[in-house]
Structure formats: structure tokens, C-alpha cells
């Protein structure tokens, strides 16, 4: 509980609230009307949404927040956030002036693109909200493992628009939070009862209240401001309160828009002949009446601060703060105001009301009543910024160059993954201790079982495995403890990605590095795709292991088979995707991945950084349940590097090569068989193992760009690999995924390509049936080769 706020501080805060609203409105106005600009930069959606939270954010940032707290600010409140940072000396005037423009302050708060200390990005509604919940869990995880005690515990706070609560991912997170005992998490709902298009249904707050209470949250409804509370205490005030409580949202909004005279008419018509309340209304001028009716809890600094200060526990809290969208601006309350923009004339009136001289719009203290020295001193002492740098660092955890694994003659990459983690789990050092795994109810079926048996499940309170206690034989020990290293989630894949996003920012948020590995079935990436994108946008660092994948999990049928995922791997920014075929490849990739997710050097210059090898990122491994024959070979440094870079020759083509088969992942046996069968009829056939279409492609694009910018000797890995191929050589590419993933290989040197893959939902069936059906078996490869590579008929066509 914070110290009670003084009257002086409250006065200063009221000045700052005015200033914040002004600066935010001016920033948007400037971007829309004054900057020499292209039309695309002009858009509404910020002015009204920002205005509804000016008071809440003033209270938060200038009074309530402490340096350890982390906040997700609703997307359209970005201008208010930037204005606050500007007043705190952490945002430049230039960036405000360039809001929404090139390299200016971002339209939606961005951890990666803004320079003013955004804690969590927002933009896709609902995701930032859930991020705060999972960040609280991660903070608890870190501390339960004995780390980070030298720093204060933070509260993870989301300021959310009421319409964000329409997003299902929020409820998935709520349920998970309840299971995991979330604490230190505040969600402040900007209950302006308006979304983008419309005014919300009546009584929604009651549904929210019940819902949050059911999940163990404290709920604080901030409905009336202090002016209203004082009026309710006057004779007749109770009648006014009842009227307000019964007034439908739409009507309230409309009256706010219409102003004092409309309020008077409506109130007088409906309750004005009831004695004391008439006097209450009559005693106020139109302006005073409008101010009174607009004085909802979420616009009243003292009510807000009192509510925040009153929280004396670490249970999660939901504040439902009544506000008016566009409060203080001419379109306050109008249902169309989301895209509303003040006209230059309206802005002039607003400027005059704010005592701001033309030409002094950006001056921090212009037009305020308090002396600048006093305001400056107040801002200097704001607790939130007292601790200096809030974005933390954590040292890199040393990763062994080679990860040991016993390779069976026939093995799947998924089993290999389980075996690799089982070996890591035996370790006693820092490396194994920093790994944290998570899975949405597919822990055992993605082969994390052996890891969990050794490292146990995480929970803040220990919980024994009853089956073990009862001596009932079971393959898996399901024992929870604060030292456990696996976070077992419910099925919601969204939650997995947002948890990975939170775990993957722990180095920056908690100053403690974690090495997060999340597993799920490959097709269900689609279920959480926006959250995955969100995690990448925030530059969270994690390894996503998606298995099983493709039609290779044949009997499961079309509902479980993934087709588009390799293209997601190729296209998703911030995520390096791999699809190994063999377990030794996987071991090399996993060792690389565990290091790569920790890299954070800025650097554009070096060739290695074409693949972001210096900047790092997150990793996606697409694995398979299909046991395939392993190759017995020694892992040389060159082979290891090639695997990591995306491809190597499994069979090097000769100088007169007529056909190359380029394959990825589980179809390796078909590719190998096909080139064996073609060997008699096609010369010098090559076999290219593509371990990462994504990195291979990124390298090629980067090299092209480098050459176009004058670095004539720039060469990418794929260009070097294919340099010796004669022009007439054909390339057949094949994978268990969309054929476009590898189709671009032909563009590298202009070779003809026939890309094989899967384009339609799969059947159930055995692998040979399905591979034949979809044309990714050896026979299809041979047929494709015959069609595009020079030479006579291939005699084994139809035999394979
Ligand atoms: C996932 C997603 N869908 C749609 C949008 C487009 N959108 C931006 S804001 C918004 C509604 C905003 O309403 P609310 O959350 O109540 O915020 P307010 O503007 O009232 O502050 C919508 C639909 C989005 N940003 N993200
Ligand atoms: Mg709203």
C-alpha cells in the first residue's frame, strides 16, 4: 500500500493529466494535419481512445508504478504513453513529431521499434493483456528457482480496452492463471463502453466482475469520480446516483457528446420534479453539470489513486474503470468517434482552453499553472524512473558445442529430440538448470517425458505424484515442485506462445536468462499463430519444437496433418525454422539453437549476419514421428556449419549432373531411393539435404541485396552449393509440406524446378499410401525428374 497522496501532488498530477492529454492530442493532430505527409500516415483511432485513459495513465506512471513493474498499454493509447515518456525525459520531441512516420514514435507501443522503454508491445488486441499474466508466472518461476532476489518483485499490469475482453485468448489465459496461482498481476479495464464500431451491451461489467471473481481475482469497480461521490452525498444525490446507474450506455454516451444543456433537459425531464434533486441540478451551470456527469471513476485522479493505493495484497486484481471515450475532446461519447479527428478549428479552441500559445505546442510545461521548477522537480522524483535503466541484461549461458545422443540405426527426429533432452537433463550445471520446457497437454506425446521425469514439473507449491505414492507403476513421474523445470499448460496453444513470449523475455524483464523450449503438434501452430507472431515481434527468445508434422503422421488424417507450416517457417520474421531429417542434424541444430536464442549483438555488416547469426532470434524445429534409417557418419565442423546454414550435399553432383533431388525432413528415404534408382539413367545425380529452407532462402536474398548494393563478391550458402551445376540440370524438390517452400531453388541460377509436396488435406492411411497419393514418393520424384531433366526414359519409373 502506498503513502496517501498529498493535495499538492494531486494538483500537480491534475496539471500533468491535462498536459498528457494535450500532448497526445497534438501529436495525433500534428501527424494528421501539419506534417508534410503522405495520406497513408493519416488515420484516426487514436485521439478518442487515448483520451479515455489520460487520467488512469497519469496516475499509473506518475504515482503508482515502481521501476520493477511492467506494463502493457492498450494499442490506441500509444500517444498517451509517448507523451508521458516525453515528460519523463525518455522520448524525444522529434519522435513525437514523427508519430506514425518513418522512424517516429510507433502507432502502437512497440518493445522493439520504440525507443522509450515500452515493456510489452501491443497492437493485436488481447495478446499484450495475456502477456502480463504469463510474465507474472515467469517472475514467480525465476524466483522459485532462487534467482533474481536482488531485485524487487514487479507487478505485471495491463491497461486494456474493454473490447479487448472479446478476445478468447484472454479467457484462456485467465483459466491458466488460476491453475498456476497467478499473483502480482493487475488488469485495468478502460470501460468506455465503446469499441471500434459500437457501444457495448448493457451490464457487461457485471459479467466481467463475476467472471474475474470466479477465477480468484480481486475486482475493483471504479464507477464514480469524487465530484459525483460528493454530489451523491448532497440531498437528492441518491436519486441522481440511481438515475446514472439505470442510464443505458448509449444514452449516457450521447448525452456526454451533447453536453450540459442536454444533460439538464434530460435530467429535469426524468427526475427533476423530485424536490432536493432538482436543486442539486439547478445549483450547477451547464458546464458544471457536464463536468459532474462526465466525472466517472476512470477520469478522477483521486478516485483512481485511492483504488490503486488500497491494494495491499499480491492477488491478481481487475479494475473496471468507467470512462468516456474521447473525454475532454469535442467528440467525447460519440459512437463514431473511434476514427474521429479534431478539426484544425477544434484544435485551436482546445489549444486556447489549455493556455497554449501558437508555436509552443510541444513545450512540456506550457500553459500549466504550477511553476516549471516545481513540475520538473516532481518529474525527477517520480518513483517509476528513479531506478534508472529498467530494461535488464543477463549473461549468456554457455552451451556445449556438441550435445551427446545415442543414435539408433532407425530413429525419428521426435525420438531423437526426447533423447537429446534426456541427456541434457542428466547434467548438473547452469546450462541444464536454465532450460525450461512447456507444453499444452502434449508433453508426453512430443517426447518430453524423459526430461520431465528427471527435471519434474514446476508449481509454486509442491504436489506429489499420487500414482507414485500409491506404488502404481507408471512410465512418468508427475511431481510438481518449485524447482521443477517443466510448465504443464492446458490445451490452449495461444497460452503456449504467450508463455514462450514471457519466458523468452526473462533476461530483459527479470534480468535472469531462461532457455525456453515449447512443444506442440505442428498443425496447431496455426491455432496460436498470432501469438507466435506477437512473441517474435517482441523479440522473445525460445525454441519451438513442433512434432509430429505433415501427412507423415498419416493415420491421424487431415485434421492433424500440417501443410502450410514450412511456409510459416520460411516467412515468419524473428523465427529461424529448421526441419532436420536425421538425428545427428537435429543435435547440431539444437546446440546451435540454444546459443542462437541468446545472441543479441546489433550488426548488419558481416556475412554471417545475413542469417541474423549475430542478432539471434527464436527457433522453430519441425520434427517427425517417422523412424528413418540413420546415416552413420562423423560430424565434422564443416558439416555442422552447413546443417546450420540450411543445406549440404548428401550426394555431391558431378560436373555433368542432369538432375538434383533437394529434399527436406521425413521424406529422406524416398529421396535417397529415387536417386539410387535414377543413377543408371541420369548422369551425376546430386542429392541435396535441406535442413532449413528458411535460412537458405534468407541467405540467398541477403546476398542478392548485398550484390545490388555493390558488394560484388557476396555469395550465399545455396549459391556456393549450386555453383557447379550445369545450366541444363533439373531440380526436383520434395518435402512433406507445401511445395512452394523449396520451389524458389530454381531462381538461384535459373534451373528448371519441379517442386513436389502436399497441397491438399491428407487422408488417413499408411505412409506409403499417402506419399503415393500426394506424389511425394520415390516414383513421383523419378517421374518429375524424367519430365524436367534431359535424357531418355528412366527405367525404374513405376517400380519404386
Ligand atoms: C486482433 C485484432 N483485431 C482487430 C483489431 C482492430 N481494432 C483495433 S482497436 C479495436 C477496438 C478497440 O476497442 P477497445 O478495446 O474498447 O478500445 P478503445 O478504442 O475503446 O479504447 C479493434 C477492433 C486489432 N487491433 N486486433
Ligand atoms: Mg472501448
pLDDT band for position 1 (50/70/90)? very low
Residue 335 CA to ligand 2 center (angstroms) comes to 11
In the sheet that holds 70-73, the strands lie side by side as 70-73, 156-161, 185-191, 317-322, 218-222
- Where residue 447 falls (left for φ over 0; alpha for ψ -120 to 50; beta otherwise) is left
Ligand 1 close to Cβ of residue 195 (< 6 A):
yes
Residue 138 CA to ligand 2 center (angstroms) comes to 29
Ligand 1 close to Cβ of residue 121 (< 6 A):
no
Q: Are 554 and 528 in contact (CB under 8 A)?
A: no
Grid cell digits, residue 767? 505412409
Nearest alpha carbon to residue 303 among 227, 249, 241, 383: 227
pLDDT band for position 606 (50/70/90)? low
Ligand 1 close to Cβ of residue 54 (< 6 A):
no
Total Cβ atoms within 10 A of residue 462: 12
For 741-758, what is the mean pLDDT? 98
Cell 499410401 appears where? 769
Q: What's the CA dihedral at 284, 286, 287, 293 to 10 degrees?
A: 80
Total Cβ atoms within 10 A of residue 217: 22
The torsion angles phi and psi of 657, rounded to 5 degrees, stand at: -55, 130
Question: Alpha carbon 54 to chain centroid distance?
Answer: 25
pLDDT band for position 248 (50/70/90)? very high
Check residue 115 and report its DSSP letter: S
Ligand 1: nearest atom to the Cα of 125: 26
Q: Does residue 44 surpass a pLDDT of 80? A: no
Shortest-distance Cα residue to atom 1 of ligand 1: 124
Shortest-distance Cα residue to atom 23 of ligand 1: 196
Q: Does residue 604 surpass a pLDDT of 60? A: no
| Cα–Cα distance, 590 to 582 (Å, whole number) | 12
Ligand 1 close to Cβ of residue 190 (< 6 A):
yes
Ligand 1 close to Cβ of residue 132 (< 6 A):
no
Ligand 1 close to Cβ of residue 76 (< 6 A):
yes
Cα–Cα–Cα angle for 752, 755, 757, nearest 5°? 175
Ligand 1 close to Cβ of residue 107 (< 6 A):
no
The percentage of residues in the chain with a pLDDT greater than 70, rounded to a whole number, is 97
Ligand 1 close to Cβ of residue 79 (< 6 A):
no
Nearest alpha carbon to residue 609 among 568, 570, 645: 645
Q: Does residue 607 surpass a pLDDT of 80? A: no
pLDDT band for position 742 (50/70/90)? very high
Nearest alpha carbon to residue 129 among 89, 190, 74: 74
Residue 124 CA to ligand 2 center (angstroms) comes to 14
- DSSP calls for 652-720: ---TT--EEEEEEGGGHHHHHHHHHHHTTTSTT-EEEEES-HHHHHHHHHHHHHHHHTT-TT---HHHH
pLDDT band for position 481 (50/70/90)? very high
| Cα–Cα distance, 119 to 132 (Å, whole number) | 10
Residue 605's pLDDT is 54
Cα–Cα–Cα angle for 577, 578, 581, nearest 5°? 160
Q: Are 674 and 782 in contact (CB under 8 A)?
A: yes
Nearest alpha carbon to residue 767 among 566, 521, 562, 556: 556
Q: What tens digit of pLDDT does each residue of 304-342 get? A: 999 999 999 999 999 999 999 999 998 888 888 888 889
Mutate to test the pocket of ligand 1, among 161, 165, 189 (most ligand atoms within 8 A of CB): 161
Ligand 1 close to Cβ of residue 161 (< 6 A):
yes
Shortest-distance Cα residue to atom 25 of ligand 1: 124
Q: Are 713 and 692 in contact (CB under 8 A)?
A: no
Residue 217 CA to ligand 2 center (angstroms) comes to 21
Total Cβ atoms within 10 A of residue 43: 14
Mean pLDDT of the chain: 94
Grid cell digits, residue 390? 529498467
Ligand 1 close to Cβ of residue 196 (< 6 A):
yes
Ligand 1: nearest atom to the Cα of 161: 15
Residue 683's pLDDT is 85
* Inter-CA distances, 593 with 136, 330, 425, Å: 26, 54, 17
Ligand 1 close to Cβ of residue 44 (< 6 A):
no
Residue 541 CA to ligand 1 center (angstroms) comes to 27
Ligand 1: nearest atom to the Cα of 160: 15
Preceding omega of 548 cis (within 30 degrees of 0):
yes
Ligand nearest to the CA of 74: 1
Check residue 200 and report its DSSP letter: P
Rounded to the nearest 10 degrees, the angle between the axes of helix 493-503 and helix 127-144 is: 60
Residue 335's pLDDT is 84
| Cα–Cα distance, 413 to 581 (Å, whole number) | 7
Ligand 1: nearest atom to the Cα of 126: 1
Ligand 1 close to Cβ of residue 163 (< 6 A):
yes
Check residue 454 and report its DSSP letter: H
Q: What tens digit of pLDDT does each residue of 71-102 get? A: 999 999 999 999 999 999 999 999 999 999 99
Mutate to test the pocket of ligand 1, among 28, 51, 106, 196 (most ligand atoms within 8 A of CB): 196
Residue 163 CA to ligand 2 center (angstroms) comes to 5
Ligand 1: nearest atom to the Cα of 196: 11
| Cα–Cα distance, 800 to 785 (Å, whole number) | 14
Q: Are 770 and 763 in contact (CB under 8 A)?
A: yes
Q: Does residue 10 surpass a pLDDT of 70? A: yes
Nearest alpha carbon to residue 621 among 669, 662, 568, 573: 568
Shortest-distance Cα residue to atom 26 of ligand 1: 124
Q: What tens digit of pLDDT does each residue of 366-405 get? A: 999 999 999 999 999 999 998 878 999 999 999 999 999 9
pLDDT band for position 465 (50/70/90)? confident
Ligand 1 close to Cβ of residue 49 (< 6 A):
yes
Residue 194's pLDDT is 84
Nearest alpha carbon to residue 585 among 636, 544, 659, 626: 636
Ligand 1: nearest atom to the Cα of 194: 20
Return the higher-pLDDT residue of 615 and 630: 630
What is the pTM for the complete model shown? 0.96
Q: Are 745 and 574 in contact (CB under 8 A)?
A: no
For CA atoms 725, 727, 732, 737, the dihedral sign is: positive
Least confident of 42-51, 182-191, 659-668, 712-721: 42-51
Nearest alpha carbon to residue 143 among 341, 321, 314, 310: 314
Q: What tens digit of pLDDT does each residue of 489-504 get? A: 999 999 999 999 999 9
Mutate to test the pocket of ligand 1, among 75, 77, 159, 299 (most ligand atoms within 8 A of CB): 75
Residue 393 CA to ligand 2 center (angstroms) comes to 36
For 604-632, what is the mean pLDDT? 85
Q: Does residue 713 surpass a pLDDT of 80? A: yes
Beta bridge pairs of residue 620: 544, 577
Nearest alpha carbon to residue 623 among 517, 527, 534, 548: 548
Residue 5, SS3 per DSSP = coil
Ligand 1 close to Cβ of residue 162 (< 6 A):
yes
Q: What tens digit of pLDDT does each residue of 766-798 get? A: 999 999 999 999 999 999 999 998 788 888 787
Shortest-distance Cα residue to atom 9 of ligand 1: 196
Shortest-distance Cα residue to atom 7 of ligand 1: 196
Ligand 1 close to Cβ of residue 493 (< 6 A):
no
Question: Alpha carbon 709 to chain centroid distance?
Answer: 33
Residue 437's pLDDT is 98
| Cα–Cα distance, 633 to 785 (Å, whole number) | 28
Grid cell digits, residue 773? 497419393
Ligand 1 close to Cβ of residue 192 (< 6 A):
yes
Residue 389's pLDDT is 85
Q: Does residue 127 surpass a pLDDT of 50? A: yes
Residue 48 CA to ligand 2 center (angstroms) comes to 10
Q: Are 190 and 52 in contact (CB under 8 A)?
A: yes
Q: What tens digit of pLDDT does each residue of 643-697 get? A: 999 999 999 999 999 999 999 999 999 999 999 999 888 889 999 999 999 999 9
| Cα–Cα distance, 423 to 403 (Å, whole number) | 8
Ligand 1: nearest atom to the Cα of 200: 16
Ligand 1 close to Cβ of residue 725 (< 6 A):
no
Q: Are 549 and 581 in contact (CB under 8 A)?
A: no
Ligand 1: nearest atom to the Cα of 190: 21
* Inter-CA distances, 533 with 102, 265, 569, 572, 789, Å: 22, 51, 11, 7, 40
Shortest-distance Cα residue to atom 10 of ligand 1: 196
Q: What tens digit of pLDDT does each residue of 586-598 get? A: 999 999 999 999 9
Ligand 1: nearest atom to the Cα of 123: 25
| Cα–Cα distance, 692 to 357 (Å, whole number) | 59
Residue 192 CA to ligand 2 center (angstroms) comes to 5
- DSSP-H helix ranges across 471-628: 493-503, 506-509, 529-537, 565-571, 583-596
Amino acid at each position: 500500500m502506498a503513502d496517501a497522496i498529498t493535495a499538492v501532488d494531486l494538483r500537480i498530477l491534475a496539471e500533468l493529466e491535462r498536459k498528457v492529454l494535450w500532448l497526445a492530442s497534438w501529436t495525433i493532430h500534428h501527424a494528421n494535419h501539419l506534417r508534410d505527409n503522405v495520406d497513408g500516415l493519416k488515420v484516426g483511432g487514436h485521439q478518442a481512445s487515448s483520451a479515455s485513459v489520460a487520467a488512469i495513465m497519469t496516475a499509473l506512471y506518475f504515482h503508482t508504478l515502481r521501476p520493477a513493474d511492467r506494463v502493457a498499454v492498450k494499442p490506441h493509447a500509444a500517444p498517451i504513453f509517448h507523451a508521458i515518456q516525453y515528460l519523463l525525459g525518455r522520448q524525444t520531441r522529434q519522435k513525437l513529431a514523427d508519430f506514425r512516420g518513418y522512424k517516429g514514435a510507433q502507432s502502437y507501443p512497440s518493445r522493439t521499434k520504440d525507443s522509450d522503454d515500452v515493456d510489452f508491445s501491443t497492437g493485436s488486441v488481447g495478446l499484450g493483456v495475456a502477456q502480463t499474466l504469463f510474465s507474472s508466472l515467469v517472475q514467480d518461476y525465476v524466483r522459485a528457482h532462487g534467482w533474481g532476489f536482488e531485485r524487487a518483485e514487479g507487478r505485471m499490469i495491463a491497461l486494456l480496452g474493454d473490447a479487448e475482453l472479446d478476445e478468447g485468448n484472454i479467457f484462456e489465459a485467465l483459466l491458466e492463471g488460476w491453475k498456476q496461482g497467478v499473483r502480482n498481476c493487475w488488469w485495468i479495464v478502460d470501460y468506455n463502453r465503446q469499441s471500434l464500431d459500437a457501444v457495448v451491451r448493457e451490464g457487461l461489467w457485471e459479467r466481467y466482475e463475476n467472471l474475474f471473481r470466479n477465477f480468484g481475482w480481486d475486482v475493483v469497480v471504479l464507477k464514480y469520480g469524487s465530484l459525483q461521490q460528493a454530489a451523491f452525498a448532497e440531498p437528492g444525490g441518491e436519486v441522481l446516483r440511481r438515475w446514472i446507474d439505470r442510464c443505458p450506455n448509449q444514452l449516457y454516451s450521447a448525452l456526454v457528446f451533447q453536453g450540459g444543456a442536454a444533460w439538464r433537459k434530460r435530467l429535469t425531464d426524468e427526475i427533476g420534479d423530485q424536490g432536493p434533486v432538482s436543486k442539486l441540478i439547478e445549483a450547477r451551470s451547464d458546464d458544471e453539470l457536464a463536468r459532474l456527469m462526465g466525472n466517472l471513476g476512470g477520469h478522477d485522479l483521486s478516485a483512481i489513486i485511492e483504488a490503486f493505493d488500497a491494494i495491499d495484497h499480491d492477488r491478481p486484481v481487475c479494475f473496471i474503470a468507467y470512462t468516456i471515450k474521447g473525454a475532454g475532446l469535442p467528440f467525447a461519447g460519440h459512437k463514431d468517434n473511434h476514427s474521429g479527428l479534431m478539426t484544425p478549428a477544434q484544435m485551436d479552441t482546445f489549444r486556447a482552453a489549455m493556455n497554449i500559445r501558437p508555436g509552443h505546442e510541444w513545450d512540456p510545461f506550457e500553459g500549466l499553472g504550477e511553476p516549471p521548477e516545481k513540475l520538473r522537480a516532481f518529474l525527477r522524483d517520480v518513483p517509476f524512473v528513479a531506478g534508472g535503466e529498467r530494461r535488464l541484461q543477463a549473461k549468456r549461458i554457455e552451451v556445449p558445442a556438441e550435445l551427446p545422443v545415442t543414435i539408433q540405426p532407425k530413429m525419428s527426429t521426435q525420438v531423437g529430440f526426447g533423447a537429446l533432452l534426456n541427456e541434457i537433463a542428466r547434467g548438473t550445471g547452469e546450462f541444464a538448470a536454465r532450460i525450461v520446457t512447456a507444453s499444452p497437454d502434449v508433453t508426453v506425446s512430443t517426447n518430453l517425458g524423459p526430461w520431465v521425469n528427471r527435471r519434474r514439473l514446476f508449481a509454486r507449491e509442491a504436489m506429489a505424484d499420487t500414482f507414485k505414492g500409491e506404488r502404481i507403476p507408471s512410465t512418468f513421474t508427475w511431481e510438481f515442485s518449485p524447482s521443477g523445470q517443466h510448465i504443464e499448460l492446458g490445451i490452449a496453444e495461444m497460452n503456449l506462445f504467450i508463455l514462450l513470449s514471457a519466458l523468452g523475455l526473462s533476461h530483459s524483464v527479470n534480468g535472469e536468462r531462461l532457455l525456453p523450449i515449447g512443444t506442440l503438434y505442428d498443425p496447431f501452430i496455426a491455432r496460436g499463430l498470432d501469438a507466435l507472431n506477437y512473441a517474435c515481434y517482441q523479440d522473445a527468445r525460445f525454441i519451438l519444437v513442433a512434432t509430429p508434422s505433415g501427412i507423415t503422421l498419416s493415420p491421424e488424417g487431415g485434421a492433424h496433418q500440417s501443410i502450410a507450416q514450412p511456409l510459416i517457417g520460411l516467412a515468419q520474421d524473428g523465427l529461424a525454422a529448421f526441419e532436420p531429417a536425421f538425428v545427428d542434424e537435429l543435435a547440431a541444430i539444437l546446440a546451435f539453437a540454444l546459443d542462437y536464442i541468446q545472441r543479441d549483438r546489433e550488426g548488419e555488416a558481416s556475412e554471417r549476419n545475413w542469417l541474423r547469426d549475430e542478432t539471434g532470434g527464436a527457433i522453430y524445429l519441425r520434427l517427425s514421428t517417422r523412424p528413418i534409417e540413420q546415416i552413420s557418419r562423423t560430424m565434422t565442423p564443416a558439416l555442422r556449419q552447413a546443417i546450420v546454414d540450411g543445406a549440404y550435399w548428401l550426394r555431391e553432383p558431378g560436373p555433368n549432373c542432369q538432375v538434383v533431388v533437394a529434399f527436406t525432413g521425413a521424406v529422406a528415404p524416398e529421396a535417397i531411393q529415387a536417386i539410387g534408382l535414377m543413377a543408371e539413367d541420369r548422369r551425376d545425380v546430386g542429392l541435396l539435404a535441406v535442413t532449413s529452407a528458411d535460412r537458405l532462402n534468407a541467405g540467398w536474398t541477403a546476398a542478392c541485396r548485398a550484390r545490388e548494393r555493390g558488394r560484388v563478391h557476396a555469395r550465399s550458402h545455396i549459391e556456393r552449393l549450386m555453383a557447379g551445376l550445369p545450366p541444363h540440370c533439373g531440380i526436383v524438390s520434395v518435402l512433406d509440406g507445401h511445395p512452394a517452400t523449396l520451389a524458389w531453388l530454381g531462381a538461384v541460377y535459373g534451373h528448371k524446378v519441379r517442386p513436389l509436396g502436399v497441397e491438399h488435406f491428407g487422408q488417413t492411411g499408411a505412409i506409403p499410401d499417402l506419399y503415393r497419393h500426394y506424389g511425394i514418393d520415390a516414383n513421383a520424384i523419378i517421374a518429375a525428374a524424367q519430365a524436367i531433366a534431359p535424357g531418355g526414359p528412366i527405367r525404374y519409373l513405376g517400380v519404386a
